Chains A and B, each alone.
Chain A
Amino acid sequence: MTIVSAFLMPGNPLPLLKGENPPWKVLADAARKAGAALRDSRPDVLLIYSTQWIAVLDELWQTRPHSVGRHVDENWYEYGDLQMDLHCDVDLARACIAAATAGGVRSKAVDYEDFPIDTGTIVANAFVNPDGRIPAVVAANNVYHDFALTAKLGGIAAEQAKLQGKRAAVIAIGGLSGSYFDHEIDIAKDRVVRDADDAANRAFLDRLGKGSGNSLAEEIAEYAKTVKADMGGKHFAWLLGATGGFRGASVLGYGATYGAGAAVVQFQVA
């Protein structure tokens, strides 16, 4: 068994930076619960894809052995600083780069001091891997890669983990509905900004509970269009590609991050 667990994690930092705020506590508690489940699955490596690490030329893969430092989110800076503490499985990342390039997706290593690991990766890693002990392979979201190509990259990462005999946990980092409040709000009253988005998010999460099935990719595309989903829902492509499909899913938490939809979901891998 290569893929031992899989999770959807929000990339918004508010539940981590201000987890005591009731609407965000739901997500923070769920994220910690996901962390406990992930550690129970005893992975050797995390296979991470975050919608917030944007690439436009080639596919980028993190290969710096240990990324540390302070990070300030460009939107939520007033809630505090984030700490990067990310170990990379360099051997596996390099294998992914070679395999992806051989498979027609030209890929490059990213190994630079002070490189700004994206907020989503920092946040998810802090929740599920708080001591930073489990190394990760982190792939960028090339904005020109479609759902199928992103799924292919997820599959390549899983395949390379298998070839190296590693137990892998898949982490897809991103949000649900993508509309935010466009004005300052009372954060204690945060909610999904559009009722229709809220309903669509809930229906979509219910659908995930039924397993991947054959039509999920098409359903995600339709859902993503309806709710202006974070990066068209490409983080689900990574998850589908890496897991090869899932039997069902448990929603550990659902809520809003300044109007946008967010959820923590644990998937039942085959």
Chain B
Amino acid sequence: MAQGRIVAGFVAPHPPHLVYAENPPQNEPRSKGGWETLRWGYERARKSIEELKPDVLLVHSPHWQTLVGHHFLGVPRMRGKSVDPIFPNLFRYSFDFKVDVDLAEACCNEARALGLTAKMMRNPNFRVDYGTITTLHMIRPQWDIPVVGLSANNSPYYLTLEKGVDQMEKLGAATRTAIEKSGKRAVLLCSNTFSHYHFHEEPALPEDMSCEHPQSYKGYQWDMRMIELMRRGEIREVMRLFPEWVEEAFAEVKSGAFPWMISAMNYPTVPAELHGYGTVIGTGNAVMEWRLAA
């Protein structure tokens, strides 16, 4: 068996507004569109997925927040309806996808071997969170590639950021080892917004783009600074600035997906490609790709 590898990693944010705006048949609410620049960015990312032909997509979502360790979806087929408790007016999505349980178990075991608390989620009635679903839908709406779903352990919030990032980096290393042993071509998905300052009231028409702009200029400046560093391949500098970024931009990357993915990719120096950037209720969202293999 050939050694498996991570062929690409994507920052793939999960505002449910993007699914709502696209009007896929799986989602009940109907919209008049909106957030086009971000959705066009996802269109480009979808083309990359088509070219890469991965065997599996791994997604780390901040909206499956776990208290005791790092959890992995462990049911072969996940089906159900996910109503977003925060934006139920926008996201009521019927999901149905396959889980790569073998790889999930391998990641879980490798994480344990590195000293992390890790466990498999085996309850078939589990409602998959909207972050996982939104990211997966936006990156591959065909739902024809098996998935490994990872929770966001709350260690960056309940311990210190440093300790939390250390856990996520170990989780990334464990993920890389499991993928290499699997022989599979894997794509990693970091389901995160960047600057997370947002408005506190929703427009009467959620897709009224005349209401959409960065909520915070400071947050916007941080987004541009970090995106530029990523585009130049300066990932070590990004990670050096990570604590400051989290603090000053209230960045959602704090939840762990970003350090998990960057660590799993072994801190790539290849320049990232920006597929699109836009705000959603004032938060900063970038769709970005690190291509590691043809």
Contacts and interface: CB of A to CB of B under 8 A. Distances in A.
Partners in one complex: yes
Interface of A: 53-58, 70-72, 74-75, 77-78, 81, 106, 108, 110, 112, 114-116, 118, 142, 144, 178-184, 228, 258
A233 to B, nearest CB: 16
B201 A106 contact: yes
A57 B68 contact: no
B83 A56 contact: no
B85 A72 contact: no
Task: In the A-B complex, list the 8 residue pairs whose CB atoms are closest, starting with the nearest.
Answer: A77-B123, A57-B202, A180-B67, A112-B88, A183-B117, A72-B126, A72-B125, A114-B81
B158 to A, nearest CB: 6
B23 interface: no
Contact of B201 (A58, A112, A116, A228): A58
Contacts of B125: 70, 72, 81
A38 to B, nearest CB: 26
Contacts of B281: 57
Which of B64, B69, B281 gathers the greatest number of chain A CB atoms within 10 Å? B69
A35 B31 CA distance: 44
Tell me the dominant secondary structure on chain B's binding face: loop
A114 B281 CA distance: 25
30 contacts: A53-B85, A54-B86, A55-B86, A57-B202, A58-B200, A58-B201, A71-B127, A72-B123, A74-B66, A75-B67, A77-B121, A77-B126, A78-B123, A106-B201, A108-B89, A112-B83, A112-B88, A112-B89, A114-B83, A115-B85, A115-B88, A118-B85, A180-B67, A180-B68, A180-B158, A181-B68, A182-B117, A182-B155, A184-B117, A228-B158
A74 B119 CA distance: 13
Contact of A184 (B65, B68, B199): B68
A75 B199 CA distance: 29
B47 interface: no
A112 B88 CA distance: 7
A56 B200 contact: yes
Contacts of A74: 64-66, 126, 129, 151
Contacts of A118: 85
Contacts of B151: 74
Chain B interface size, under 10 / 10 to 19 / 20 to 34 / 35 or more: 20 to 34
Which of A74, A77, A142, A258 gathers the greatest number of chain B CB atoms within 10 Å? A74
Interface in B73-96: 81, 83, 85-89, 92
Contacts of A180: 67-68, 158
Contacts of B200: 56-58, 142, 144
Which of B68, B81, B201 gathers the greatest number of chain A CB atoms within 10 Å? B68
A179 to B, nearest CB: 6
Contacts of B92: 112, 114
B218 interface: no
B201 A57 contact: yes
Contacts of B67: 75, 180, 258
Nearest to B86: A56
Contacts of A142: 200
B94 to A, nearest CB: 10
Interface in B220-265: none
A56 B119 CA distance: 30
B198 interface: yes
Given A57-B202, A78-B122, A114-B81, 7 more contacts: A54-B85, A58-B200, A77-B121, A106-B201, A116-B83, A181-B68, A182-B117
A269 B174 CA distance: 54
B132 to A, nearest CB: 11
Nearest to B64: A74
Contact of A56 (B88, B122, B198): B198
Interface string B186-221: 000000000000111110000000000000000000
A108 B69 CA distance: 35
Contact of B158 (A81, A112, A179): A179
A115 B126 contact: no
Nearest to B65: A74
Nearest to B85: A116
Contacts of A106: 201
Interface in B117-140: 117, 119, 121-123, 125-127, 129
Contact of B127 (A58, A72, A110): A72
B36 to A, nearest CB: 21
Nearest to B125: A72
Nearest to A74: B64
A114 B199 CA distance: 27
A57 B117 contact: no
A70 B123 CA distance: 12
B87 to A, nearest CB: 8
Nearest to B198: A56
Contacts of B123: 72, 77-78, 81
Contacts of A115: 83, 85, 88
